[in-house]
Amino acid sequence: MAKTLIQKLSILADAAKYDASCASSGTSKRHSLGTGGIGSTEGMGICHAYAPDGRCISLLKILLTNFCIFDCRYCINRSSSNVERARFTPDEVVRLVLDFYKRNYIEGLFLSSGIIRSPDYTMEQLTEVARCLREDHGFRGYIHLKTIAEADPELIEQAGRYADRLSVNIELPSETSLRQYAPEKTETTIRKAMADVRARIDTFEGERAEKRRKAQPKRFAPGGQSTQMIVGADTTTDVGIIRKSADLYASYRLKRVYFSAYSPIPDASSALPPVKPPLMREHRLYQADWMVRFYGFDAEEVAGATKDGMLDLDIDPKLAWALANRALFPLDVNRADRETLLRVPGLGPKSVDRIIAARRHGRLRLDGLSSIVRSMKPVLPFVTAADYSPGRTLDAADLRARFAPPPKQGELFA
């Protein structure tokens, strides 16, 4: 029996929910005032709703189809899964995007797909949706397309003309894990796909930097490329994951590496343990990633403050790093430079900028600092101010314990 649009939507959104990518930020700014069409991007993405899993809904995230010729063990859509299958026509996706967008439900589309027939055929279908939105409907909103590894680079080229962002998922942090869980995928094909995207982004950015050019450079994925890694399905440690991300950032200039805690799926493969998704681990990895991308830490510094290769689940990795490097503290908030202040737990780029701006009004005291900083608790042991010194706090053996949640009481009387 033919499925209704709503039935397909329910199947194909469910099939897409394991992909962590959600951001709609970082692309070129544009609007529809000139074109009289629909859509804009303001540089920063907007989360239009939140699901009870705490994740933002910014894009219509769906698969074109959940039929797939691949048999990746961790994936709900693998060919050996008994999940119900459905397939949208490109026109149906276009209609959903426009209908949702005009009601201000979404920022745009994140379109992925199971691999049907061949990587090339699948990539063509994905690109057709983006083409139709842009060319036939003048859509100026955000479009993120999943790049099918092994698809012809010509098709990637076309996809990048319409999409804001392209992504290909690395999925697992090592070649060994891929071989074990995703027999049809190899890291080489994935890296090759990422390289193809980077090569074209480099060309686009290079042309844009050439100020003397008369012609506007041909737009190519102005929002860059990203990837996703599944955490907790295999035995790779956090250090392994941090190093792998650093390698991917350096190799392919990725805008983001998304981490997705391996989540039990309906009709799970027997090759995977039915575990609770390691959400805290995922959160700590994002914090570690943040340190590298925004706070000027090198991946190896973050890795250095781990234990047995794993991030501390009880305290955030920046605090863990500071505790492991106490000799560098306390820092004088009235004298330390920006780069150094960013290493203080509890201080982010915004508060550091405000601290530096406040210095011209005289020496910063504790009350001034507390009006700038969101929470003083993590900051206090690591700084000095005009009227404050942490004394011997930094040497305290129980410093970590002051931040960690209280140890769980064993059930003595149970």
Partner 1 sequence: MIEIPLASETDFEGWRAAARSLCLTGAAPADVVWRTPSAPASLLAGAPPPEAPAGKIRASNRFIDMARKAAHHRDPERFARLYALVVKLQDRPHLLDDPTDADAVWLARVNKAIGRDLHKMHAFVRFKAAGLSETGRERFAAWFEPEHRIVQLAAPFFMRRFTGMDWVIVTPDGTARWDGEALRFGPPGTRSDVPAEDAVEDQWKTYFQSIFNPARLKVSAMTAEMPKKYWKNLPEAALIPQMIASAEARARGMQEAAPSQPNPLASTLAARRPGDRAGPTLETLDDVRRAAARCQRCPLHACASQTVFGEGPADARLMIVGEQPGDREDIEGRPFVGPAGQMLDRSLEAAGLDRSAAYLTNAVKHFKYERRGKRRIHQRPTSGEIDHCRWWLDLERDLVDPEVTIALGASAARGLFGKSVKVSELRGEILDLNGKPALITVHPSYLLRLPDPARRAEEEARFVDDLTKARALLAA
User: Applying CB under 8 A, which of residues 117, 136, 195, 294 lies at the interface with partner 1?
Assistant: 195
User: Applying CB under 8 A, which of residues 91, 135, 154, 298 lies at the interface with partner 1?
Assistant: 298
Q: Using CA of residue 33, residue 38, residue 43, residue 46, what is the dihedral sign?
A: positive
Stretch that binds partner 1, among 181-189, 229-237, 337-345, 403-411 (CB under 8 A): 181-189
Q: Do the Cβ atoms of 111 and 134 come closer than 8 Å?
A: no
User: Applying CB under 8 A, which of residues 26, 223, 368, 381 lies at the interface with partner 1?
Assistant: 368
The nearest distance, CB 192 to partner 1, in angstroms, is: 5
The nearest distance, CB 198 to partner 1, in angstroms, is: 5
**CA atoms within 13 Å, Cβ hemisphere of 306:** 21
374 binds partner 1 (CB under 8 A): no
Token representation of residue 314: 């009880």
Nearer to partner 1, 226 or 263 (CB): 263
Nearer to partner 1, 301 or 314 (CB): 301
User: Applying CB under 8 A, which of residues 109, 143, 322, 372 lies at the interface with partner 1?
Assistant: 372
Longest dimension (CA), the chain: 80
The nearest distance, CB 5 to partner 1, in angstroms, is: 7
Q: Whole-angstrom Cα distance, residue 45 to residue 192?
A: 29
Sequence-ordered list of residues with C-beta below 8 angstroms from that of 305, at least 6 positions apart, any chain: 317, 320, 321, 323, 324, 325
158 binds partner 1 (CB under 8 A): no
User: Applying CB under 8 A, which of residues 206, 266, 349, 391 lies at the interface with partner 1?
Assistant: 266
In total, the chain counts a number of residues equal to: 414
105 binds partner 1 (CB under 8 A): yes
Considering only residues 268 to 297 of the shown chain, the ones binding partner 1 according to CB under 8 A are 268-270, 274-277, 279
The size of the interface with partner 1 (CB under 8 A), counted in residues, is 95
284: region left, alpha or beta (phi > 0 left; psi from -120 to 50 alpha): alpha
Of 288, 284, 278, 279, nearest to 313 by C-alpha is 284
Nearer to partner 1, 233 or 323 (CB): 233
Considering only residues 32 to 91 of the shown chain, the ones binding partner 1 according to CB under 8 A are 32-33, 35-40, 42, 46-57, 60-62, 69, 71, 78-82
361 binds partner 1 (CB under 8 A): yes
User: Applying CB under 8 A, which of residues 357, 395, 401, 402 lies at the interface with partner 1?
Assistant: 357
Spell out, one character per residue from 202 to 221, where the chain touches partner 1: x when CB under 8 A holds, - when not: x-------------------
405 binds partner 1 (CB under 8 A): no
Q: Do the Cβ atoms of 331 and 383 come closer than 8 Å?
A: yes
376 binds partner 1 (CB under 8 A): no
Of 358, 354, 360, nearest to 342 by C-alpha is 354
Sequence-ordered list of residues with C-beta below 8 angstroms from that of 265, at least 6 positions apart, any chain: 18, 74, 75, 76
The nearest distance, CB 397 to partner 1, in angstroms, is: 32
Q: Whole-angstrom Cα distance, residue 260 to residue 277?
A: 9
179 binds partner 1 (CB under 8 A): no
The nearest distance, CB 231 to partner 1, in angstroms, is: 13
Nearer to partner 1, 81 or 127 (CB): 81
Binning the chain into helix, strand and coil, the percentages to the nearest 5 are 40, 10, 50
User: Applying CB under 8 A, which of residues 3, 131, 161, 354 lies at the interface with partner 1?
Assistant: 354
Q: Which contacts of 312-317 are long-range, i.e. CB under 8 A and separated by 24 or more positions? A: 312/284, 312/404, 313/280, 313/281, 313/284, 314/403, 314/404, 314/405, 315/400, 315/403, 315/404, 316/284, 316/287, 316/345, 317/284, 317/287, 317/288, 317/291
250 binds partner 1 (CB under 8 A): yes
